[in-house]
């Protein structure tokens, strides 16, 4: 507790002094008391170490917020007193609606929350799409990958999803986009509908519930995702 108070005092004193750059010694001393959190090792974490999304614990969030603040102060003229950049408007955010039925511990319909901590679509130069969503209400960690040729008839199965939600978990990847399923484990398809300002993906799948770490009763997934272009 005393160490945390000392860290708070250091940060407050540093901000009041109006610096534009943080020393390496300050950053190391401030982050030292922040606890580390062990993360769940899933197919995505093993295969995509460089770009994986994870559910952040309180300590991890503190590290991200502090580092982001130090970076802004280092590059923004005027330090703390500079104007804040406006965030993205709600209309530019991706959205999803997903219905889970069949087996599994938590069936029902889930929708994106505009206040989610992470809600991001990216369109890669190779034509593939990725959607990452993390929210605490209800707890959802969603990672969706759609292949560059998914709009073609030959590529309609080129979709992979990993979903961790309270209290369930499942994944599917029948086309082997990043690790793949064994033959017959899952079936999935995606249709792609481009528009002038957004692209809509309709995904259906049947895959085993894996909430306890083993393949159990299949769940049916019906999902619609809309990503800004």
Confidence band (pLDDT; 50, 70, 90) for 24?
low
CA torsion, ordered 73, 117, 46, 162, to nearest 10 deg: -160
Lowest mean pLDDT among 1-5, 77-81, 114-118, 176-180: 77-81
DSSP state, 211? T
Residue 103 φ then ψ, to 5°: -80, -170
Q: What is the CA radius of gyration of the chain?
A: 21
pLDDT tens per residue across span 157-181: 999 999 999 889 999 999 999 889 9
pTM (2 decimals)? 0.63
Q: Once rounded to an integer, what is the mean pLDDT over residues 24-51?
A: 48
Q: Is 172 exposed, middle or buried (0-12, 13-18, 19+ CB in 10 A)?
A: buried
Percent of the chain with pLDDT over 90: 54
Instruction: pLDDT band for 138, please (50, 70, 90 cuts).
Output: confident
Q: What is the mean pLDDT of residues 73-93?
A: 46
Of 82 and 148, the one with more pLDDT: 148
Count of CB atoms situated within 10 Å of the CB of 211? 18
Average pLDDT in the chain: 76
pLDDT at 12: 63
pLDDT of residue 193: 97
pLDDT value at position 88? 43
Distance separating alpha carbons of residues 202 and 173, to the nearest angstrom: 16
- Is 220 a residue whose pLDDT tops 60? yes
Q: For residues 104 and 172, what is the distance between their CA atoms, to the nearest angstrom?
A: 14
Q: Is the pLDDT of residue 32 over 60?
A: no
For residue 81, is pLDDT > 70? no
- Asked whether the beta carbons of 139 and 165 are under 8 A apart, the reply is yes
Q: Which residues contact 137 (CB under 8 A, 6 or more apart)?
A: 113
Share of the chain above pLDDT 70, in %: 60
Using the predicted structure, report yes or no on whether residue 16 has a pLDDT greater than 50: yes
In sequence order, what E strands does the chain have? 95-102, 108-111, 118-123, 129-136, 139-146, 159-165, 168-172, 187-194, 198-208, 218-228
The confidence score (pLDDT) of residue 104 equals 79
pLDDT at position 50, please? 39
């Amino acid at each position: 507790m005393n160490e945390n108070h000392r860290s708070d005092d250091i940060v407050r004193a540093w901000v009041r002094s109006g610096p534009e750059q943080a020393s390496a010694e300050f950053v190391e001393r401030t982050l030292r008391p922040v606890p580390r959190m062990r993360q769940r090792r899933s197919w995505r974490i093993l295969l995509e170490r460089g770009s994986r999304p994870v559910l952040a614990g309180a300590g991890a969030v503190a590290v991200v917020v502090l580092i982001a603040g130090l970076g802004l102060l280092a590059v923004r003229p005027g330090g703390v007193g500079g104007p804040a950049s406006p965030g993205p408007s709600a209309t530019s955010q991706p959205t999803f609606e997903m219905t889970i039925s069949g087996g599994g511990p938590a069936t029902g319909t889930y929708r994106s929350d505009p206040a989610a901590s992470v809600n991001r679509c990216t369109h890669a130069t190779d034509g593939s799409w990725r959607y990452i969503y993390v929210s605490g209400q209800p707890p959802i960690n969603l990672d969706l990958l759609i292949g560059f040729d998914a709009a073609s008839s030959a590529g309609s199965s080129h979709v992979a999803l990993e979903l961790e939600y309270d209290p369930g978990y499942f994944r599917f990847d029948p086309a082997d986009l990043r690790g793949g399923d064994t033959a017959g484990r899952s079936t999935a398809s995606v249709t792609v509908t481009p528009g002038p300002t957004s692209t809509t993906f309709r995904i259906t799948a049947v895959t085993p519930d894996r909430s306890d770490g083993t393949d159990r009763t299949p769940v049916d997934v019906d999902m619609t995702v809309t990503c800004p272009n």
